[in-house]
Structure 1
Amino acid sequence: MPNIMENQPAASNAFFRIACYFEGSLAVLALALGWLADLDPFASLAFSEAALGIGLFATGPLLVLFFAMQQLSYPPIQKIRELLLETLGARLAYRHWTDLLILAAIAGFAEEALFRGFLQPWLENGWGASVGLWVSNVLFALVHAVTPLYAVLAMLMGLYMGVMLDYGGERNLLVPMVIHAVYDFVAFVVILRDYRNRAR
């Protein structure tokens, strides 16, 4: 019978593939919904150095909050940390940092295509900017609701990215995509580091 330890890298490989496929499928869903609604989810996506720079700079406040929360002993936050270590940490333990970068990039691209590329503008077209921003991010929170506090934090992060979508008065989907991807990458690295340190 194979040793359990021998199966862990294979399980990690399987999780990584499934996670990439699942996240990527959200971009396909955005395209399908956009086709049905006659709305191009990538209409506001424009590659520019300015948008890239804004996205990188705008990730800073979120990362400051992320690292600040790492130091808090508030039980609901500790619960989130433990949950992420037990789930993501264990499943990413055998991944290289480049794998984390790939997964974060796919998640940032696909989730933003769905929530900020399709859902927010679609709701805006029917009910106005405020409804589009809030409702799209309530839904964003619900799909991230691993704990009640995590859902609230996801909604706040989503609202931030929804506002940054129109930073400077010119809508560009690249900005929230960069914010989302960079934040996820840093979070993955920290979770993986903490899990490996604990496993020593």
Structure 2
Amino acid sequence: MAKYPINPDDFFKKACAFEAALILVALFLGWIANINPFAYLYFSEPAIAYGVIGTAPLFLLFLVLELIPAESIVKIRKVLFETLGPGLYRYHWTDLLILASIAGLSEELLFRGVIQPWLESSWGLTAGLIASNVIFGLAHAVTPLYAVLAALTGIYLGLAMDYGSDRNLLVPIVIHSLYDFLAFIALVRAYRARRLADPKE
């Protein structure tokens, strides 16, 4: 296995800190754009239900991609396995839930809470949705294909925010957090299985 570029002992704390820092970025950009990142965030039982249900298609796609042997997809799996696996495999599922929740909250506040409405106000709903998620994809450019998949996922999350009678940021936050959590669990299980099969890794 490739040498891990970041100290695995520090990865979890640094990942949590980095993701949490995005909330400050959202607040700063919101201040510049005169947009409150929390403006569309409010508790709603239907929003939580929509979020849980809305996670299913994304995680199903994740499981399908795990079975596809195409080189570009295998590369994504390899990169994520070798970067996230060593840093997360020793952690309890509750720790993974914390990281996933922080990532879901912070990234949605930044991209769907500030950047999307900011661009929508200047370019219109459709262009704002697409442009904000091109940025979202570029921010997740682990590989070119992964950037495209992230951008498409971002569009899905942006549309989910408007599902129902009112715009509610809670829907994409739930989808994003729950999807990340399930993906972390799947990756950690695979990494632990690999270590058991080959303790030298």
How far is 1:37 from its partner?
Answer: 1.4
Separation in 1 of the partners of 2:27 and 2:112? 13
Separation in 2 of the partners of 1:93 and 1:57? 27
Alignment partner of 1:96 out of 73, 92, 97: 92
Separation in 2 of the partners of 1:174 and 1:20? 20
Instruction: State the SS of the aligned residue for 2:164.
Output: helix
Amino acid of the residue matched to residue 120 of structure 1? Q
Which residue of 2 is the match for residue 16 of structure 1?
12
2:186 is the counterpart of 1:186:
no
Instruction: State the SS of the aligned residue for 1:167.
Output: coil
2:105 is the counterpart of 1:109:
yes
The alignment of Structure 1 onto Structure 2 pairs a total of residues equal to 191
**Structural mapping, 1:135-154, within 5 Å:** 135-154=131-150
Alignment partner of 2:114 out of 95, 118, 130: 118
Separation in 2 of the partners of 1:55 and 1:15? 28
Instruction: State the SS of the aligned residue for 2:40.
Output: coil
Q: Aligned residues: percent identity?
A: 55
Separation in 1 of the partners of 2:22 and 2:128? 19
Amino acid of the residue matched to residue 106 of structure 1? I
Compute the TM-score of the two structures, normalised by the length of structure 2: 0.92
Alignment partner of 1:75 out of 60, 71, 75: 71
Separation in 2 of the partners of 1:82 and 1:199? 15
2:24 is the counterpart of 1:28:
yes
- Please provide the CA RMSD for this pair: 1.1
2:49 is the counterpart of 1:46:
no
How far is 1:13 from its partner?
Answer: 4.0
How far is 1:122 from its partner?
Answer: 0.6
How far is 1:72 from its partner?
Answer: 1.1
Runs of 4+ off more than 3 Å: none
* Cα deviation code 1:158-187 (max 9, x no counterpart): 000000110024100000000000000000
- Aligned 8 A contact 1:63 1:183 in 2: yes
Gaps of 5+ in 2: 197-201
